[in-house]
Every structure is written in structure tokens, then in C-alpha cells.
Structure 1
Amino acid sequence: MAAVSLVLRGVAAVGLAVDAYIHLKLAHQYSSVTSSTVSEGTLFRIEAAAATIAALLVVFWRHVAGDAFAWLTAAAGLAAILLYRYADPGTLGPLPDMYEPTWFADKVWALIGQAAAIAALTPLLARRRRPRSGNPASTG
């Protein structure tokens, strides 16, 4: 089971690293898309920072809170890619209008990285939530 956990953590970390790299690489291109509060470039930098922290937590901390943060970071990024690819919600509160109805290589790689992280972290989180056999709290 330890080997499976290491592989899953490696997949999650690589997926998050790809996500971070792509968002940081593209941030300057989206800095001109702004609301009155924040630019899309700034949001890309925030996503890159969150994904970097998440990858480090998955590899070095190995705690359910870090895994949950990493899962939520990847899920939020994936949701944003899909929402703004397939829907045009316009400006949402402080967020700029980020609608972009096209696919291109970097967007696909970010999506793959996020999806891989979610797929790898889900069993790690699910395993921790199940009571262990022989645990007095699980009988009853």
C-alpha cells in the first residue's frame, strides 16, 4: 500500500507542477484582462502559487489537510477551465470576464495536470476517511 501511495503522490505532484508551470507561463498574456479589482494575470499567478504550495504539501507534508488543499486547488482550476471554455458568465463579482471558447496546447496541459492531480488525490483522501478494521469506533 505504501508503494501505491507514493505513486499517487508523485502523479499528484507532477500534475500540480504542470498546472503551476502553465499558469505562471501564461500569466503575463492575461494581465490586460481586468475587472475593477483584479486581472486574469493575477489570478493565474495565484493559481500557480497555490498549485506549487499544494505540490510541496503532497510530497513533503503528507497530511490529509495538505492533500485536501491540493485536491481543492486542482478541482477549482479544472472547474474554471471548463466553465470559461464552455460558458460565458461575464464578469463575476470581482473576477474579470475570462471567457475563452478555444482549446490550445497549454490549456489542455493545465487541464491534464489538474485532472491527474484530482484522480491521484481522490483515493488518498478516500482511504483516510474509511474506518480501519478493528477500530472500536468502526464497530457499532
Structure 2
Amino acid sequence: MSPPAAPAARSHRRPRHVRPVHAVTRIVAAAALAVDAYYHAHLAPQYDGVSASISQGDLFRIEAALAALAALLVLVWRRLPADVYAWLVAAGGLALLLIYRYMDVGKLGPIPNMYEPSWYTEKWITAVAQAVAVVAMTALILARVWARARRSRTTFEDEPRVL
């Protein structure tokens, strides 16, 4: 009598139908981050006059650079640290936009008072782009974490049990 055959090795690759969804989600997130970067870079010169130690225009330029880098990493590197970085850039930018829209925080050390209690087209577009990026990056991060958990659970269940 021959020993029982070993179970077939399971592939840790994503199912084929999941890959296009992830690709489209990455493209949407990168596009949203690119819109965020564009509008911050475009608006920066208008805010150079609002300053303490650093101007609001400079902060807009920094946000533009961070968002552009995040968009690039989401498309090129496609790893969890890049996804988390992109999520942090989008969520942080959206949080600050909303805080400075609804609360007069005042000057914080070298950060100027950026309270602006109005909505205009560029601000709306930026807020929507950041929100889209947050949702897309959240989906990608959760999909990666769930897949990793599923792989580790599957690997554990496939191991022979010793009595």
C-alpha cells in the first residue's frame, strides 16, 4: 500500500479576476493624488503672503511634492509601505483641509494661520480627490492585509497535525 499523496501546493497568487480590480483601484488612487498635487502646486503662489516662519504657499508646495511622490509610488512600487504612505498623505491632507475650513486654529509655531471659512472650486476638487484617494488606498491596504491573513491561515491549516 502506497502512502497518501501530498496535497497539491496552493498558489499564493491573486485570482485572475482580482488583478484588474486592483490595477484600476491603483490608477484611480494615483489619479486622485495627482489632482491633489496639481491643485496644491497651482494654488501655492496665491498663498505665499500668508506666512509665519514658513508660508502657506510653501506648505502647499510640500503637499504637492508629497502627493506627487505618493502617486508615483502607488503606480510603480506597489508595496504596503507605499500604500500606507499614500493613504497618510491623502488622509492628512483631507483632515487639514477640513480642519482649516471649519476651525480657526490660529498660528501654530512656524505654521501660519490658514483658516479659510469658504469653499471654492479648487478646494472642492482637492477635497474630493483626497477623499477618493483615501477610499481607494483603504481598499488596497485592506485587500493586502486580508490576503496576507488568508495565506497565513491557509498555510497553517495545510500543515500536518502531530498527535
TM-score interval for Structure 1 and Structure 2 normalised by the shorter chain: over 0.9
From 67, 88, 100, the counterpart of 2:116: 100
**Percent pairwise identity:** 50
Amino acid at match of 1:5: H
1:136 paired to 2:156: yes
1:50 paired to 2:54: no
Amino acid at match of 1:34: S
How far apart, CA to CA, are the structure 2 residues paired with 1:8 and 1:111? Answer: 18
RMSD, aligned CA: 1.4
Amino acid at match of 1:71: W
How far apart, CA to CA, are the structure 1 residues paired with 2:85 and 2:111? Answer: 22
Amino acid at match of 1:124: L
Specify every segment of 5 or more residues in structure 2 that has no aligned partner in the other structure, as ranges: 1-17
How far apart, CA to CA, are the structure 1 residues paired with 2:23 and 2:155? Answer: 25
How far apart, CA to CA, are the structure 1 residues paired with 2:136 and 2:143? Answer: 12
Partner of 2:138: 122
Specify every segment of 5 or more residues in structure 1 that has no aligned partner in the other structure, as ranges: none
Q: Cα distance, 1:93 vs. partner?
A: 2.2
1:87-124 superposed Cα distances (whole Å, 9 cap, x missing partner)? 00101122100000000000001101100100101011
Partner of 2:51: 34
Q: Cα distance, 1:55 vs. partner?
A: 0.1
From 8, 17, 23, the counterpart of 2:40: 23
How far apart, CA to CA, are the structure 2 residues paired with 1:9 and 1:128? Answer: 13
Q: Cα distance, 1:136 vs. partner?
A: 2.0
Q: Which has the higher contact order (CA 8 A, sep 6+)?
A: 1
1:85 paired to 2:101: yes
1:19-64 superposed Cα distances (whole Å, 9 cap, x missing partner)? 00000000000001001x2100000000000000000000010010
SS at 1:90 equivalent: coil
Q: Which runs of 4+ in 1 moved over 2 A?
A: none
1:4 paired to 2:24: no
How far apart, CA to CA, are the structure 2 residues paired with 1:135 and 1:83? Answer: 45
Q: TM-score normalized by structure 2?
A: 0.81
